[in-house]
Structure 1
Amino acid sequence: MAARKVLSRAESQALTREELIEAAERLFYANGYHATSLAAIAAEAGRTIGAVYSNFESKEALCLEVLRSWATARMSRLVNAIAATDGTLEQRLDAIANWWDKQLMADNAPLILAAEYGISVLRDTAQQARTVEACERFIESARVLLLDHLPEGAEANASLLDDAVYGVLGTATGLAVGNVSGVNRGDDRSSEILTATIEFWLGRLGDSVGATTAQTAR
């Protein structure tokens, strides 16, 4: 029988952290943010409450890691879905719509958790700052995806690009909230609204590039 590998201190801590995040995810999704205690998460992971505080300073910090892990996985799937297309705008928009319907909107639990977390940190400026920092990666990913549709070598107006990024993300957030709250209509067309918003902003960015090119040629 092969000898069992002895984990280093760093490996052991990384394993504990991963187990705590997985346990927190299960309980947060099943019971909600407010009804889940750190003690319950520790018990679910088979760890002590001390192990929780050794890895996360608060329930808010642990919840943010759960949401970050979920969002990272979903963003990775979106990038892979877009990469698997033939590169045309039509195919990419179809991939985005399919990802939205089957990867994001198919499971409300993470979206509900995100809403509960967001409300819980409204008055916590330090945790809000950490949340904003965590979101920067996804904002940058959206920026890259939009830039990828511009003509080769073209540079979009920086201010307009920011408007486009936040316009698309703001629309997506509103549609997700509407889905979770039941405000969206029964014949949910949120993926169509999202892709139409993306097309609108790509049109604005394309017009901006065209205008800049024309002025430069004069």
Structure 2
Amino acid sequence: MSAEQDEPVRQRLTRAEAKARTRRLLLDAAARVFARKGFAGASVEEIAESAGFSIGALYSNFGGKEALFLELMAERGLGRVAEAAQTLDRHEAGTGEAAAELGRLLVDVADKDTDFAPLQAEFWLYAVRNPQVLDTMAAALREPRQALEGLIDTWLAEQGAPADAPADAVATVVAALFQGLVRLRRVDPDSVPEELFGQALVWLFAGIHAGAAPTSGPDQN
């Protein structure tokens, strides 16, 4: 197809589609610049230039570097939850196959997505040192956390877990376990073999069942 034939297609973009395309290009450019220079070293000027837009376009779509980075974090989080959900669609929760696939997901994140774990750690330090950023960070990560809670809630129901095992608390533990093991594997790969995350989830859910309060039994008083 010729350039002349391409042009009408571009012109048919609605305002919403054009805005979405601009945001996507800015996010992709930000991911590249952050990967090269870190959060602190990246500048809005370089991100905008890399995307082919003005600094004004960056600020009008995101408000600044922090918002760009937080949206990237949220996207990555949602993507990982979606991958975990697909695993549980293919395999019954609690089985060895599901545990093995979830373990491979962690290894892929730790070994292949090598830029983002350090960036997350850098931004966490930045937010702790700038407390006004913490609420913004928590709000930006709410959507992937809620997606994980929904997945955990389904998983708990499928396993017949007790009602006193709240999905939000379990999701917090699972997220912390995942993030911690990713960072540890980056430092010491041999200490976090491929099967460890899946096995840890098996232990976690077995513990939830074992620790459930009995529904009936002799009076303990």
Q: Which TM-score band (shorter chain)?
A: 0.7 to 0.9
Distance 1:36 1:29 in 2: 9
Q: CA deviation at 1:198?
A: 1.5
From 28, 36, 41, the counterpart of 1:30 = 36
Inter-CA distance 99–120: structure 2 relative to 1 (3 Å threshold): same
From 139, 158, 166, the counterpart of 2:172 = 166
From 155, 163, 182, the counterpart of 1:156 = 163
What secondary structure, in the 3-state scheme, does the structure 1 residue paired with 2:40 have?
A: coil
Which structure is richer in relative contact order (CA contacts within 8 A, separation 6 or more)?
A: 2
Task: Show the 5 A alignment for 1:92-171.
Answer: 92-147=98-153, 148-150=155-157, 155-158=162-165, 163-171=169-177
Note the alpha carbon deviations across 1:44-87, whole angstroms, 9 max, x for none: 01100000110112211111111222222222122112212255
Note the alpha carbon deviations across 1:5-30, whole angstroms, 9 max, x for none: 33332222221111100100111112
Aligned to 1:187: 190
Seq. identity, %: 24
Listed as ranges, the gaps of 5+ residues in structure 2 are none
Aligned to 2:206: 203
- Aligned residue pairs total 211
Distance 2:66 2:24 in 1: 16
From 44, 55, 63, the counterpart of 2:50 = 44
Aligned to 2:69: 63
Output the TM-score relative to the length of structure 1. 0.82
Listed as ranges, the gaps of 5+ residues in structure 1 are none
Distance 1:163 1:86 in 2: 22
Distance 2:198 2:209 in 1: 16
Answer yes or no: is the 8 Å Cα contact 1:38–1:52 preserved in 2. Answer: yes
Q: CA deviation at 1:156?
A: 2.7
Q: CA deviation at 1:171?
A: 2.5
Distance 1:75 1:81 in 2: 10
Q: Tell me the amino acid that sits aligned with residue 70 of structure 1.
A: R
Aligned to 2:23: 17
What secondary structure, in the 3-state scheme, does the structure 2 residue paired with 1:21 have?
A: helix
Note the alpha carbon deviations across 1:174-197, whole angstroms, 9 max, x for none: 2222234x2x2x524254332333
Instruction: Give the aligned CA root-mean-square deviation in angstroms.
Output: 2.7
Q: Tell me the amino acid that sits aligned with residue 207 of structure 1.
A: A
Inter-CA distance 154–188: structure 2 relative to 1 (3 Å threshold): closer
Q: Which runs of at least 4 in structure 1 moved beyond 6 Å after TM superposition?
A: none
